[in-house]
Amino acid sequence: MKANQRRIDVAAGRAPADLVFKNANVVNVFSEELITADVAIADGIIAGVGNYQGAREIDCTDKFLCPGFIDAHVHIESSLAAPFEFARAVTQSGTTTVVADPHEIVNVCGAAAVRYLLDATEELPLNVYLMLPSSVPATPFETNGTDFAADDMAPFFAHPRVLGLGEVMCYPAVVAGDAAVLEKLALAADAGKRADGHAPGLSGRELQAYAAAGIRTEHECTTFAEASEKLRAGLAVLVREGSAAKNLSVLVNGLLDSDLPAGRFMFCTDDKHLDDISREGHVRWNVRQAISLGMKPITAIKMATWNAAREYGLRDVGAVAAGYRADLVLLDSLKQMTVRAVYKDGRPVSERFEGLCAHPVPDAMLHSVRFRNVTAADLALPVRGPAHVIEMVPYQIVTRHVVEEVPARDGFFTPDSTYTKLCVVERHGRGGGIAVCPLKGYGITGGAIATSVAHDSHNVIAAGDNDADLVLAINHLKTIGGGYVLAAGGRIQGALPLPLGGLMSTEPWETIQAGAEAILTQAKAMGIPYPVDPFTSLSFLALPVIPELRLTDRGLFDVTAFAPVE
C-alpha cells in the first residue's frame, strides 16, 4: 500500500522519483508514436511519463526508450545454458521476459525438471513464465526418459508463473479427439489457463478442429498463406527466427504485402544457440530483421513487446507507461536496434545479477545418459532397391520424404558425400533401441557428429560418413554425460559436455559459447553446407511431429501419414 502511495506521489509530482530517464524518445505501443518525454521510476515501477525530476537522472537526448523485449515461445534448454546463464546471456540484448516451454528437459527428467526450473528462475532478473509440456513424449512412436501425464502436471497449474499448456504437438490426436490430450486441455481450461499450438501445415477442417479444442497460438508457419489461415482461425502467429528455423523473412514480407493487421503477430526464437545469441542478440535480432525488411520500427517493437504481453495476459510488462514494470531498453538507433543499456525493474541488468548465483542442480538430473556401447554391427543398414531417405530443406526444420537408390556395398548402405548415415540410439535405459537411415543434404565428410540433444525425446542422434567414427562419437557421449561430440580419423576431435539432462551446461555462458563456437567451426569444416546448422538442424531430425520424414529410436516415421514406415 505504501509503495503504491509513493508511486502515485511521484506520478503527481509530489515526490522525486528514484530514477528519471530525461528527454527520451519514448516508444508508445498504444498510440504507436514516438514521444519525447521523461520517464520516472519508483520502486521498480514506471510512475509516470511526462516532465519529472529524480534522485538520479540519465540524459537520454537523441536516444530511444522502449519496453523490454518478450520471447513468446522459447526452450531455454536449446541455448545449452542452465537458466541463470541463459538469463545473463539474453538480457544483455534487451530480452526481459520469456515464455518458456521446458519440454526438452521434462522429456528427460519429468516433473522434477519443472520443479527445478521454477525454483531456478524464481529470483532471476528475467521474467520467466512456464508453459507446462503437453506432449511428453511427443508421440507414442519414440522412447523418452519419463512421461509427464495430466496427473503429473495438475499441481503446477496453481503456480503464478505457469501460464498454461505448452505447444500441443500431437495435433493428429487433438483432431481425432484423443482422450489423453483432451484431458490436458481441459485441465488448463479449468485452471483458467491457455494452450499453445504446434501444428505445421494443418489446414481446413482439421485446423478448425484444432482451434475448437481451445488452442490459441502457432509458431510453425513457414508460408504466409499458412499464417493467414491460422490467423483467421483465431490463432496468434508467433514469427520464429532461431538457429535452425528461420521463418521471419517470409512471414514479415507477407504481412507487409497484405492488409492484415499485425496485432496478433509476435516474435519468438523457439530454439537459439548461444553462438547466435552472442553474435546477433536475442529477440532484438527479430526486431532488427523485421525493420530491415521495411516494417515500421514501432510496429516491430510492438510485436516484440505489447502484442506478446497481451496475448499471454502479462498485465504489468510490454509498455513504457505508468503502472508497468520498469523493464526497459535504451537504444542508440531505432532502425539498427543498437542496444545501449537494459534495465530490469528500474536497475541495470548487470547490477541486478550482482550477488546472485545459480540454483543448485539435483544430482539425478546430472546422470541421464545410459545406454550400452554401440558397435559397427548395430549401425548396419541393409538395402534392397530404392530406400526411404530423409532429405533436408535449407533453413527449415521440415524435411522431404524421398524414395531413391542409395549407394550400397555387399547389400548394406554405404554413405558418401551425398548420402549421410543417420543414427538414433535410445539413451534413457528404456530398451536400447537403435535405428539407422540415409540422410540427404547434411553433407558431412571424413567423420561423424553425435549429440544427446535430439528433439524432443533426446535420444542420441548421430550423422557421419563412416561407421568407425560414428561408433566412437556415440559412445563418447556416454563418457561425458551428454553433449556434442566430433570424431574423425578414429579420434575424438572435439566435445562439448552438457551434463544437465544431457542438454545443458552449468558453466558460465561465455565458456559454453566459446566451446560451442569452437566445435561448430570444426563441424562446418567437415563439409556441412551453410544452410544447415550442424547441431541444431541435426537435433530436429528425430522429432516425429514435423513433416515429412523423421527417425526415432524405433525406426523411420512418416509424419504425413502419422505412422511408422513399414
Q: Look at residue 536 in the predicted model and tell me its pLDDT.
A: 85
The one-letter amino acid code at 191 reads A
DSSP state of 77: G
In a 13 Å sphere around the CA of 252, the CA atoms on its Cβ side amount to: 24
Residues 117 and 169 in one domain: yes
**DSSP state string for 272-337:** --HHHHHHH-SHHHHHHHHHHTT--HHHHHHHTTHHHHHHTT-TTSSSSSTTSB--EEEEEETTTT
Residues 32 and 90 in one domain: no
DSSP state of 81: B
Tell me how far apart the alpha carbons of residues 529 and 251 are, in angstroms, rounded to a whole number.
Answer: 24
Residues 282 and 411 in one domain: no
**Which candidate, 511, 519, 491, 476, places its Cα nearest to that of 369?**
476
For the domain that residue 19 is a member of, what is the CATH number?
2.30.40.10
For the domain that residue 80 is a member of, what is the CATH number?
3.20.20.140
Domain C-terminal end among 359, 379, 396: 359
Tell me how far apart the alpha carbons of residues 197 and 179 are, in angstroms, rounded to a whole number.
Answer: 18
**Looking at the DSSP assignment, which residues form a beta bridge with residue 492?**
487
Look up the pTM and report it.
0.92
Q: Look at residue 3 in the predicted model and tell me its pLDDT.
A: 66
**Which candidate, 368, 280, 236, 229, places its Cα nearest to that of 90?**
280
Q: Look at residue 531 in the predicted model and tell me its pLDDT.
A: 82
Contact yes or no for 288/301 (Cβ under 8 A): no
Contact yes or no for 238/267 (Cβ under 8 A): yes
Residues 86 and 177 in one domain: yes
Q: Look at residue 248 in the predicted model and tell me its pLDDT.
A: 97
Q: Look at residue 2 in the predicted model and tell me its pLDDT.
A: 64
Residues 155 and 252 in one domain: yes
Contact yes or no for 470/379 (Cβ under 8 A): yes
Residues 58 and 101 in one domain: no
Domain C-terminal end among 326, 341, 359: 359
**Which candidate, 448, 471, 475, 463, places its Cα nearest to that of 376?**
471
Rounded to a whole number, what is the largest CA-CA distance in the chain?
88
**Run of H or E including 250:** helix 248-257
Residues of the chain falling short of pLDDT 50: none
Q: What angle do CA 156, 282, 543 make, to 5 degrees?
A: 60
Domain C-terminal end among 41, 62, 83: 62
Residues 174 and 264 in one domain: yes
- Where are the alpha helices (H) located in 41-178, listed in sequence order? 83-91, 103-109, 111-120, 150-153, 171-176
Question: What grid cell was written down for 427?
Answer: 539413451
Residues 118 and 237 in one domain: yes
Tell me how far apart the alpha carbons of residues 441 and 280 are, in angstroms, rounded to a whole number.
Answer: 26
Tell me how far apart the alpha carbons of residues 326 and 319 are, in angstroms, rounded to a whole number.
Answer: 9
The one-letter amino acid code at 231 reads L
Residues 42 and 76 in one domain: no
Residues 244 and 315 in one domain: yes
Question: What grid cell was written down for 234?
Answer: 483465431
Q: Look at residue 102 in the predicted model and tell me its pLDDT.
A: 97
Domain interval for residue 468: 367-564
CA–centroid distance for 137 within its chain: 17
Q: Which residue has the cell 572435439?
A: 494
Residues 206 and 251 in one domain: yes
Residues 34 and 118 in one domain: no
Name the domain count of the chain.
3
Q: Look at residue 525 in the predicted model and tell me its pLDDT.
A: 92
